[in-house]
Amino acid sequence: MLHAPPGRLTLGVLLPTRLDHPSQELLAMEAERGRVDALFAPAPHTAEAPDPVTLLSGLSGATDHIGLVAAGSPSGWEPHQLVRRHTSLDVLSTGRAGWHLTDPAGTPADEALRLWTAAHRDGTPGAVPPVQRQPVLFRTDEPATRDTFTARHADVVLTAPRDRRSARRRYAAIADGVRAAGRNPEHVLIWSELTVSTMDGPARLADHLQRCHEERTADGFLLSFPEQPGLLVDFVDHVVPELWRRGLFPNAYEGPNLRATLGLPEHAPIPGGVHA
């Protein structure tokens, strides 16, 4: 399962939300300096945590190319509110928005996807369409459930495998599910979540990323640096150049929006519609 361009590793970084805004802005700029594809703002777990769409809207002005992925559940939102929030981020960032749709996926999410499709097909009076046909849709893999929504709609699936063997099995299972849903598995990226707690040899970390990518256990990685955000700077300074030297990672952003940067095709509705 190869994705355009061939051999291209894709990378995202999880933003530590406990930092103040200037620090978050600095990390966003550092991630962009390393040509990281996307910056993730997690769903808030406390009342003090910032709203991810609001946070990323603010960071859009400090960055030019990096994708901005807001996590959040559709529960408690009307579909038109979901569409407005994520469309606003896409417009503010000129096509860099992604939505990490957290559980549960149900009627509000289905209807939000339908509204985006209708906006491009028919036009919606008084509504501002997103720059992308719809924000890039990220979903966390749920192996224990029969998650047909992910198979039918996700652009990027996030996994947390225990080891390389289980990662290969899950990679193949996700691809099979996408194929069974009537989609091309080459149009879906599978990312592995990876926590970086120390920078013990940039070449060793680059070796791990390369091995997983070449063995088809992951098309990319969502990296987190929870204990020491400064490790992101070390990653950009030392690991990213190693990936450049190996030809695994581009040293320039490709395409006008996040979907193109990731090598994903323009979104098109699947046969039979959202609820089929």
- Indicate whether this model's pTM tops 0.85: yes
Tell me the range of 78-87, 126-135, 263-272 where mean pLDDT is highest. Answer: 78-87
Contacts of residue 95, defined as CB under 8 A and 6 or more positions apart, other chains included, come to 130, 131, 132, 256, 257, 258, 259
Compare 180 and 226 and report the one with higher pLDDT.
180
In a domain, 133, yes or no: yes
In a domain, 276, yes or no: no
Query: Lowest-confidence range among 56-70, 105-119, 251-265?
Result: 105-119
Contact 10, 189 (CB under 8 A): yes
Query: Lowest-confidence range among 49-53, 107-111, 176-180, 210-214?
Result: 107-111
The DSSP code for 185 is G
The average pLDDT across 27-50 equals 93
The average pLDDT across 26-49 equals 93
CATH code for position 188: 3.20.20.30
pLDDT band at 268 (very low <50, low <70, confident <90, very high): low
Whole-number average pLDDT of the chain? 88
pLDDT band at 1 (very low <50, low <70, confident <90, very high): very low
The average pLDDT across 163-177 equals 93
Task: State how far the Cα of 232 lies from the Cα of 244, in Å rounded to an integer.
Answer: 16
Q: How many domains does the chain have?
A: 1
- Give the CA distances from residue 155 to residues 5, 37, 125, 186, in Å, rounded to whole numbers and listed in that order: 16, 14, 28, 10
In a domain, 164, yes or no: yes
Share of the chain above pLDDT 90, in %: 66
In a domain, 90, yes or no: yes
In a domain, 104, yes or no: yes
Note the pLDDT of residue 226: 84
In a domain, 174, yes or no: yes
Task: State how far the Cα of 26 lies from the Cα of 59, in Å rounded to an integer.
Answer: 9
In a domain, 181, yes or no: yes
Tell me the range of 13-22, 26-35, 145-154, 248-257 where mean pLDDT is highest. Answer: 26-35
250: left (phi over 0), alpha (psi -120 to 50) or beta: beta
| DSSP, residue by residue, 23-38 | HHHHHHHHHHHTT-SE
From the list 253, 255, 169, the residue with the least C-alpha distance to 217 is 169
Q: Quote the domain boundaries for residue 221.
A: 10-261
In a domain, 5, yes or no: no
